[in-house]
């Protein structure tokens, strides 16, 4: 488990027009670890996650102050291309969103956009990405069938394979298991565990057991502030702050 900060926010403030959704958030994301973001509904978890690959840029009226560093470079600097950034920092959403095309084309889509045209090379990327997303064995005989025919859990792993195909460094996941049944959720959690040896992962989850199972570090958000951050085990066994304890023991939220 690396000690290096793969990403870091410094005094990050975010405003949706007149409403301040993030207040002075300073937060490290350690390389090759899983960091969980927890907290009650509306506290700013998804907003924070989206600042890490500038997905908030597309929401009109959004303003940020402060810094978000990726390998010590501020991703909000003028010379950073958000398209390249989102290749380095990929994102997986709550509901699986495969494109309405074949399994193969879903994975090859990103590499093609980024200029990979060679068929052998694409075949290799597709196989490698599906292997890494623990989906290859289930789909290798139906690569040219529609991705929409996969189960929800398979679709979510397909979306992860699609992110992996463009060779990211960081993967952001916003409640990736909330639409999945318990078996698919368990598979996804196993996958997250495997992926962290090669990638850095940040996951928003409402499920405390899931945070405890999958993450190495946890940040607790409340009303736009990150009020407690620690090693996950410590957070769940000996939280320092009363609101954290109340939340993780189910007294509110």
Ligand X SMILES: Nc1ncnc2c1ncn2[C@@H]1O[C@H](COP(=O)(O)OP(=O)(O)OP(=O)(O)O)[C@@H](O)[C@H]1O
The CB-of-44 to ligand X minimum distance in angstroms stands at: 4
The CB-of-45 to ligand X minimum distance in angstroms stands at: 4
The dihedrals phi and psi of 214, each to the nearest 5 degrees, come to -95, -20
The CB-of-82 to ligand X minimum distance in angstroms stands at: 17
The CB-of-64 to ligand X minimum distance in angstroms stands at: 13
* Pick 41 or 197: Cβ nearer ligand X: 41
Buried b (16+ CB within 10 A) or exposed e, 177-206: bebbeeebbebbbebbeebbeebbbbbbbe
* Pick 55 or 147: Cβ nearer ligand X: 55
3-state secondary structure 122-191: HHHHHHHHHHHCCCHHHHCCCCCCEHHHCCHHHHHHHHHHHHHCCCCCEEEEECCCCCCCHHHHHHHHHH
* Pick 23 or 80: Cβ nearer ligand X: 23
Count CB neighbours of 61 within 10 A. Answer: 9
The CB-of-18 to ligand X minimum distance in angstroms stands at: 9
- Which parts of this chain interact with ligand X (CB under 6 A)? 16, 19, 21, 39, 41-47, 59
* Pick 43 or 70: Cβ nearer ligand X: 43
* Pick 8 or 225: Cβ nearer ligand X: 225
The C-alpha atoms of residue 50 and residue 198 are separated, in whole angstroms, by 22
Under DSSP, is residue 52 helix (H, G, I), strand (E, B) or coil? coil
């Amino acid at each position: 488990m690396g000690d290096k900060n793969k990403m870091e926010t410094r005094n990050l403030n975010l405003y949706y027009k007149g409403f301040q959704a993030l207040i002075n958030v300073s937060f490290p994301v350690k390389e090759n670890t899983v960091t969980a973001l927890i907290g009650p509904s509306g506290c700013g978890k998804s907003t924070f996650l989206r600042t890490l690959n500038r997905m908030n840029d597309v929401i009109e009226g959004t303003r940020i102050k402060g810094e978000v560093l990726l390998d010590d470079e501020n991703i909000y600097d003028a010379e950073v291309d958000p398209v390249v950034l989102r290749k380095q920092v990929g994102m997986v959403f709550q509901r699986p969103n495969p494109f309405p095309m074949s399994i193969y084309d879903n994975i090859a889509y990103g590499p093609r956009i980024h200029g990979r045209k060679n068929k052998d090379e694409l075949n290799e990327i597709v196989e490698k990405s599906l292997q890494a997303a623990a989906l290859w064995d289930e789909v290798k005989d139906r690569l040219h069938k529609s991705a929409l025919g996969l189960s929800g859990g398979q679709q979510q792993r397909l979306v992860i394979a699609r992110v992996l195909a463009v060779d990211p460094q960081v993967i952001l996941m916003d409640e990736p298991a909330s639409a999945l049944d318990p078996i698919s959720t368990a598979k996804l959690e196993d996958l997250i565990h495997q992926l962290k040896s090669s990638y850095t992962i940040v996951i928003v989850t409402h499920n405390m057991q899931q945070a405890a199972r999958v993450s190495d570090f946890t940040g607790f958000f409340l009303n736009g502030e990150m009020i407690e951050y620690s090693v996950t085990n410590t957070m769940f066994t000996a939280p320092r702050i009363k609101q954290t304890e109340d939340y993780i023991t189910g007294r509110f939220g």
